[in-house]
Amino acid sequence: MFNAFLKCTTKCWLRASGEPAAGGAYAEWLKSKNRSYHATEIERLLSEPKNEVAVSPPLENLKAAQWHLAANLSVRAQMKTGVLESEVHAVERVPSEGRGRSAQFIPIRYIFTNKLSDDDKLLLAFDAFVFSEATGREVSFGKIIHGDDNSEGKVKTAALAGEVRRRVERIATLLSRPTAPELILNRHCGECEFQTRCRRKAIETDDLSLLSGMSEMERKKLHSKGIFTVTQLSYTFRPRRRPKQMRDKREKYHHSLKALAVREKKIHIVGRPELKIDGIPVYLDVEGLPDRDFYYLIGVRIGSGDSAVHHSLWADTAADEGRIWREFLAILETLEKPVLIHYGSYETAFLKRMGERHGQPPEVSLAAKAIGVAVNLLSVIYAQVYFPTFSNGLKEIAGHLGFHWSDSDATGTQAIRWRHEWAASRDPFQKSLVVTYNLEDCQAPKSWQVKLANWRNRAQTRKTHHAMTSWTRQP
């Protein structure tokens, strides 16, 4: 429950109340990976003869303990806020140095990811806090063993003890209430086992957190004004004529206009969004493993329609990353005037990092020119095109425009799971799932280019004095 609380108060409440999980294949996969990694590391500890290892030893008489490492300790501590319990993965015992000095105990947690988050460190600090309260021994620091190379990270758990105590108190307050906390959708929803349940509830109540671009502070400010639903927010939008000196500057983003688009089921246009493709369109989509900083698939779709050519550049290992980057640059060099088109900042970061790691193309090359003026579709539509969707995500908007993925459940997180499963089994089917998902991500933006061009033409021919126009989506 402590782990769940770090992600979302509603998730903590649902775990505590025994709510059954609905779906969430990625969430189950994460749990399975961490359990497997933990079990493998404990087995490795037990197999080393030099270690004096005890499995689940009693904690009543730590003073007489002879073990060097203890695995799978169930630790309980009675607090004013209730009973705290943790299954500590392992504890290292460092014998005392000198008479009258107590042995030092170092909790260890195993996490399969290569990068550690603040939540991972707080989980270790929770282990240390419960162990300290249960045994009366001070725990100054702990260790996290993680990743493919079993890297060791040290965490000063004593420094985090105050934060852990505050979180524990907040959890106790949360669970003492007779009703569930306010439901707020957040970034963790995409990898949560309760995502289907919570999204359904949010849609039923028309909650403001459905608008994914809205911050918590903005939402609270609207609540203070008595605005709690997307529909209520939609009625607050007022189109205003902009001063002449401001007409060349982009309009700020209006959550109220987004809400209006959702309520009216219309696409609203602010100003005259432009998408100039002066050359051969090259649609780019990249897949990677964020915790490894490893890009393993570069999807490239050249042209459109039946004549389009698609390339799937696959890297089996991180050592192959440079190879697929060079293949990508070589493809751009074969085109007369390539124009890179992508959606979102992920590909922007990819182009920058790959150039830093594996070398930028020559400045005068076609590849360098294409990378230098790559078109991010999200930046084109942001604050200018308001779709009747709760977010500006590729899946939602492309779906509204009539594009559909062959696997309706395919997401970036699912692609990460498929890639890991392929690495473990080398099953061609798992690889095909990722490649197909990537290919369709390259295809989706094509409909955007056509739509934006049509909107631009219509805006130029329409006689109007208004700064904002709108149309319903045509079949």
| Residues 14 and 114 reside in one and the same domain | yes
pLDDT tens-digit series, residues 371-389: 999 999 999 899 999 999 9
Number of domains in the chain: 3
**Which of 427, 420, 119, 392 shows the shortest CA–CA distance to 290?**
420
Average pLDDT value for residue range 294-300:
98
* Region of residue 255 (phi > 0: left; psi between -120 and 50: alpha; otherwise: beta): alpha
How do residues 356-367 score in pLDDT, each as one tens digit? 999 999 999 999
φ, ψ (nearest 5 deg) of residue 427: -75, 120
Cα separations (Å) of 264 from 44, 148, 283? 60, 50, 31
Instruction: Answer with the one of 147, 176, 205 that is the final residue of a domain.
Output: 176
192, 33 Cβ separation under 8 angstroms? no
Regarding whether 231 and 169 lie in a shared domain, the answer is: no
In a domain, 474, yes or no: no
Residue 368's pLDDT is: 96
Residue whose token pair is 């979302």 = 8
Q: Which of 85-99, 215-229, 416-430 has the lowest mean pLDDT?
A: 85-99
Residue 467, pLDDT score: 43
Min mean pLDDT across 94-108, 270-284, 306-320, 442-456 is at 442-456
Instruction: State whether 137 and 194 are in the same domain.
Output: no
pLDDT at site 413: 92
Type of residue found at 73: L
Nearest to 435 by CA among 319, 320, 287: 287
Do both 114 and 204 map to the same domain? no
Q: Say if CB 443 and CB 394 are below 8 A apart.
A: no
Other CB atoms within 10 A of residue 42 CB: 19
Question: Do 307 and 415 sit in the same domain of this protein?
Answer: yes
- Note whether residue 109 is domain-resident: yes
* Bridge partners for 142 per DSSP: 155
**Mean confidence (pLDDT) of the chain:** 89
Same domain? 223 vs 288: no
Please say if the pLDDT value at position 82 is more than 90. no
**326, 453: one domain:** yes
- Looking at the domain assignment, is residue 138 inside a domain? yes
475 is a domain residue: no
* 172 and 193 co-located in one domain: no
**Residue 16: pLDDT over 70:** yes
pLDDT above 90: percentage of residues in the chain: 72
- Among residues 134, 151, 176, which one ends one of the domains? 176
Helix axes 428-461, 412-425, angle to 10 degrees: 160
Question: Do residues 398 and 257 both lie within one domain?
Answer: no
Chain centroid to Cα 371, Å, comes to: 25
Q: Predicted confidence band at 247 (pLDDT cuts at 50, 70, 90)?
A: low
The reported pLDDT for the residue numbered 103 is 83
For residue 279, the number of C-alpha atoms closer than 13 Å in the C-beta half-sphere is 19
The mean pLDDT of 409-436, rounded to a whole number, is 95
Kindly report the backbone phi and psi dihedral angles of residue 328, in degrees, each rounded to the nearest multiple of 5, phi listed first.
-65, -45
Per the domain annotation, does 470 fall within a domain? Answer: no
pLDDT band at 454 (very low <50, low <70, confident <90, very high): low
In a domain, 104, yes or no: yes
Name the residue range of residue 87's domain.
Answer: 2-176
Of 266, 293, 326, the domain-final residue: 266
Round to whole Å and give the CA distance between 2 and 5. 5
Q: Which of 475, 469, 474 is nearest to 273 (CA)?
A: 469
Please state whether beta strands 267-270 and 385-386 pair in parallel, antiparallel, or not at all (unpaired): antiparallel
Based on the fold, state whether residues 82 and 169 are members of the same structural domain: yes
Confidence of residue 466 (pLDDT cuts 50, 70, 90): very low
Does 127 have pLDDT greater than 70?
A: yes
pLDDT at residue 326, as a whole number:
98
Give the pLDDT score at 462: 42
In the chain, what percentage of residues exceed pLDDT 70? Answer: 91
Q: Do 347 and 223 fall within a single domain? A: no
What local confidence, expressed as pLDDT, does residue 453 receive?
Answer: 59
Same domain, 294 and 201: no
Residue 177 has pLDDT above 80, yes or no: yes
Average pLDDT over residues 319-335: 97
CA-closest candidate to residue 26, choices 438, 413, 436: 413
Helix pair 9-16, 157-176: axis angle to 10 deg: 60
- Amino acid letter, residue 235: Y
Question: How many other CB atoms are found less than 10 A from the CB of residue 72?
Answer: 16
254 within a domain of the structure (yes/no): yes
Read off the CATH number of the domain in which 7 is found: 3.90.320
Please indicate, yes or no, if residue 456 is contained in any of the structural domains: yes
